[in-house]
A and B are shown apart, each in its own frame.
Chain A
Amino acid sequence: MSSALLNVNDLRIYYYTLTGVVRGVDGVSFQLQDGEVLGIAGESGCGKSTLGYGLLGLIPPPGRIAGGSVVLDGIDITKLKPAELRKVRWAKVSMVFQGAMNALNPVYTVGHQLAEPLVIHKGMSVKEALEVAGEMLKRVGLGPEVLGRYPHELSGGMKQRVMIAMALLLKPRLVIADEPTTALDVVIQAQIMNLFKEIKQRERNAMIFITHDLSLIAEVADKTAIMYAGKMVELGPSDNVFNNPAHPYTQGLLRSIPRLRGKEKITWIPGVPPDLRAPPPGCRFHPRCPYAMDVCRSEEPPTVEVEKGHTVSCWLYAKR
């Protein structure tokens, strides 16, 4: 599809460490349409945050994009020079970072930090920028008085709202949220999730929501992707992925979530995720998979469409 807002093709992001090459993201492809919300879930170390940073061209060293392309609105991010990238970043794609507590600069007021991207990208005067910033704060449920405050004067939930306002400031087509509620209490988390739902309705920008908590993905995402050991093992409309999971890993994950109501027994996935310096041959999930066959141990599984728009990388569904 050429009309997609974001087209990620065979993206590889490797960390070149002294002890070997860590394949953080290893051949991920997906597309995102305008206004769509994609949730990316997986356990710690599966590469979901690395993927998020990759989409902004913000991979920390020793990481590097080792291959593939990220085409956002017709521009291949992986080919841009740092100066060009700075123009795209925040204007076209922005990010709500993990741990809002530490993502704001403690020595500047909120107003200063919110005005900065407007001054730099849009050439506004500081006064104009503060006006726009105050307007944006209102849209995330904060009063204009917050502009004059320092981050330490705000609570965790308020800081996260400021971060969200900052991400929306330049009206980017795509907002990436990386574990945006992890450090927050559940009541505040619910309020922030409500805010994301409102934003989705109102701003109609596309969003990528990265979290380890499948329940939160169910709260906002139209499409759900599951990552395991650097690969995207399943991708589809949220209803299909949650109600009819295809990959044994997705099935295992969903069965391991305790529910508030309903007493069905939860189960777990035995074993641990592999070392990404030397992932197992064949399907990376095979050492933990209850259905592993011979072919899983030797050959990488193909990506198969099980329903319309619902793909899975698993030998169980491959016709041979």
Chain B
Amino acid sequence: MSSKLIMEKVFKYFPLRRSLVEILTFRPPRYVRAVDGVSFTVDEGEIFCLAGESGCGKTTTGRLIVRLLEFTGGRALYRPRKEILSEIPPQYIVEKEYVDLTAKLPRQVDKLLRRDVQIVFQDPYGSLNPRMRIYDILKEPLDIHGVGASEDEKREKVFKALEEVKLTPPEEFAERYPHMLSGGQRQRIGIARALILEPSLVVADEPVSMLDVSVRAEILQLMMDLKATRNLTYVFITHDLAVAAYICNRIGIMYLGTIVEKGPIDLIVNNPQHPYAKALIAAVPEPDPRNRFKIREVPIKGEIPSAANIPPGCRFHPRCPYAMDICKKEPPPEIEIEKGHTVSCWLYAKR
């Protein structure tokens, strides 16, 4: 198997605050089911994209992978790179070369995994400490993980990281503070910070959504170049299907905590099956002025419901133009439409 990451029915529930009445009457606690039985695999060296509207659980899934959040349930097997794997005590290794991210791991293993799985955040304005120089921002991970024997070696690593994200001359950028940089430059710092520990898996959470179009392409290209030179695997989280189509190999379309359709990007863009995926793709605007004469067909109604109150059966059924009786009662099975392209919808189930 060459899978880098295997997510098997993972869950993340956030408990809701209970009122005094609820506690006194012994009502069961309620949860926001942010991630509710998500399964997918990410192959070594690929860009896997999680896409969907806000509130669909894509960011929560990303944060689970980097373990900024703890899993509520399921199994998430991650294969670290060799040097890291050799340092992990054997009792935490499953299936020869995987670590289960949902298991309780000691600090030492935790720290090793954090070196190997890194994240690039969405907001380049909010994710850099405004009171730290770029040099200190980039050096901090090295200090924490004890990488680099001497200060000189660390300095060299920081400068190299800056050069890699094309912020040259590095001596000059290292001395600056975040407010002295543009949005695109800040996002490069975000990328440099994620890569300085030489991870093998990077979760990129909407890395270009806050940037202007003219710099967006540059950051995407930079990410692809770095992936090629460093043999990285990306989990790329985005709401923008055009960006997904440009950068990724495979995609999973999420709706209210589940993946409704997944497969190779070309198959999904050109032949979406799930009614939600169809609407999402039909809704993407394109820079063609002929579009102004036609009304876009987005037949779905209403807006995404709260994850604290998920509809029974297929969770998309209240908005689905094709909803049948069974959709209201039972969650749909996952069906393979063509090789590697699966959809969770009753429309395609043979009964």
Task: Judge whether B220 is part of the interface by a CB distance below 8 angstroms.
Answer: yes
A259–B291 Cα distance when bound, in Å, is: 14
Contact of A197 among B282, B286, B295 (CB under 8 A): B295
Task: Judge whether B243 is part of the interface by a CB distance below 8 angstroms.
Answer: yes
Contact of B296 among A190, A259, A260 (CB under 8 A): A190
> Quick one: closest A residue to B295, CB to CB?
A194
Task: Judge whether A155 is part of the interface by a CB distance below 8 angstroms.
Answer: yes
Which of B33-41, B89-97, B109-117, B209-217 binds A?
B209-217
B245: chain A residues within 8 A (beta carbon): 258-261
A215 x B292 contact (CB < 8 A): no
User: Least Cβ distance of B210 to chain A in Å?
Assistant: 10
A268: chain B residues within 8 A (beta carbon): 214-218, 221
Task: Judge whether A193 is part of the interface by a CB distance below 8 angstroms.
Answer: yes
Which of B15-23, B71-79, B297-305 binds A?
B297-305
A157-B285 contact given A197-B295, A261-B269, A268-B215, CB 8 Å threshold = no
B287 x A257 contact (CB < 8 A): yes
> Quick one: closest B residue to A187, CB to CB?
B283
B284 x A260 contact (CB < 8 A): yes
B281 x A185 contact (CB < 8 A): no
Task: Judge whether B231 is part of the interface by a CB distance below 8 angstroms.
Answer: no
B280: chain A residues within 8 A (beta carbon): 186-187
User: Least Cβ distance of A65 to chain B in Å?
Assistant: 26
A185-B239 contact given A43-B212, A214-B287, A272-B182, CB 8 Å threshold = yes
A189-B303 contact given A194-B296, A267-B217, CB 8 Å threshold = no
A125: chain B residues within 8 A (beta carbon): none
A187 x B289 contact (CB < 8 A): no
A157: chain B residues within 8 A (beta carbon): 303
Task: Judge whether A253 is part of the interface by a CB distance below 8 angstroms.
Answer: yes
A185 x B54 contact (CB < 8 A): yes
A222 x B292 contact (CB < 8 A): yes
B184 x A187 contact (CB < 8 A): no
A221–B288 Cα distance when bound, in Å, is: 11
Contact of B288 among A187, A198, A242, A256 (CB under 8 A): A242
B221: chain A residues within 8 A (beta carbon): 268
> Quick one: closest A residue to B55, CB to CB?
A185
Task: Judge whether B2 is part of the interface by a CB distance below 8 angstroms.
Answer: no
Q: Which of A221, A243, A266 has the most CB of B within 10 A?
A: A266
A220: chain B residues within 8 A (beta carbon): 292
Task: Judge whether B26 is part of the interface by a CB distance below 8 angstroms.
Answer: no
> Quick one: closest A residue to B294, CB to CB?
A197
A257 x B182 contact (CB < 8 A): no
Task: Judge whether B164 is part of the interface by a CB distance below 8 angstroms.
Answer: no
User: Least Cβ distance of B35 to chain A in Å?
Assistant: 18
A260 x B289 contact (CB < 8 A): no
Contact of A259 among B212, B286, B298 (CB under 8 A): B286
Task: Judge whether A304 is part of the interface by a CB distance below 8 angstroms.
Answer: no
In the complex, per-residue mask of A268-291: 1 if CB is within 8 Å of any chain B CB, else 0 = 111010000000000000000000
A242: chain B residues within 8 A (beta carbon): 287-289
Contact of B285 among A212, A219, A224, A261 (CB under 8 A): A219
> Quick one: closest A residue to B241, CB to CB?
A260
Task: Judge whether A119 is part of the interface by a CB distance below 8 angstroms.
Answer: no
Q: Give the size of the chain B interface in residues (CB under 8 angstroms).
A: 45
Task: Judge whether A135 is part of the interface by a CB distance below 8 angstroms.
Answer: no
A74–B321 Cα distance when bound, in Å, is: 49
> Quick one: closest A residue to B214, CB to CB?
A269
A198–B298 Cα distance when bound, in Å, is: 15
B296 x A186 contact (CB < 8 A): no
A215: chain B residues within 8 A (beta carbon): 285-287
> Quick one: closest B residue to A183, CB to CB?
B54
A260–B283 Cα distance when bound, in Å, is: 11
Task: Judge whether A218 is part of the interface by a CB distance below 8 angstroms.
Answer: yes
B242 x A257 contact (CB < 8 A): yes
Task: Judge whether A35 is part of the interface by a CB distance below 8 angstroms.
Answer: no
> Quick one: closest B residue to A249, CB to CB?
B214
A187 x B285 contact (CB < 8 A): no
A260-B292 contact given A187-B283, A269-B214, CB 8 Å threshold = no
Task: Judge whether A216 is part of the interface by a CB distance below 8 angstroms.
Answer: yes
A44: chain B residues within 8 A (beta carbon): 212
A198–B295 Cα distance when bound, in Å, is: 8
> Quick one: closest A residue to B184, CB to CB?
A272
B289 x A191 contact (CB < 8 A): no
A205–B290 Cα distance when bound, in Å, is: 20
A270: chain B residues within 8 A (beta carbon): 218
User: Least Cβ distance of B141 to chain A in Å?
Assistant: 27
User: Least Cβ distance of A298 to chain B in Å?
Assistant: 25
A218 x B220 contact (CB < 8 A): no
In the complex, per-residue mask of B240-282: 1 if CB is within 8 Å of any chain A CB, else 0 = 1111011100000000000000000000011000000001111
Task: Judge whether B53 is part of the interface by a CB distance below 8 angstroms.
Answer: yes
A190 x B298 contact (CB < 8 A): yes
A44-79 with Cβ < 8 A to chain B: 44
A6–B192 Cα distance when bound, in Å, is: 49
A68–B280 Cα distance when bound, in Å, is: 44
A239–B240 Cα distance when bound, in Å, is: 25
A186 x B284 contact (CB < 8 A): yes
User: Least Cβ distance of B270 to chain A in Å?
Assistant: 7
In the complex, per-residue mask of B152-186: 1 if CB is within 8 Å of any chain A CB, else 0 = 00000000000000000000000000000010110
**Could you list 30 examples of A-B contacts with CB < 8 Å?**
A43-B212, A155-B302, A185-B239, A186-B280, A186-B283, A187-B279, A189-B285, A190-B298, A213-B285, A215-B285, A218-B288, A218-B289, A218-B292, A221-B289, A239-B289, A241-B289, A243-B289, A253-B213, A254-B287, A256-B214, A257-B242, A258-B243, A258-B245, A259-B286, A259-B287, A260-B242, A261-B245, A266-B220, A268-B214, A270-B218
Q: Beyond A256-B216, A257-B242: 8 further Cβ-contacts under 8 Å?
A: A187-B53, A187-B283, A215-B285, A241-B289, A242-B288, A259-B242, A260-B286, A268-B216
Closest 3 A/B residue pairs (Cβ) = A190-B283, A215-B285, A258-B246
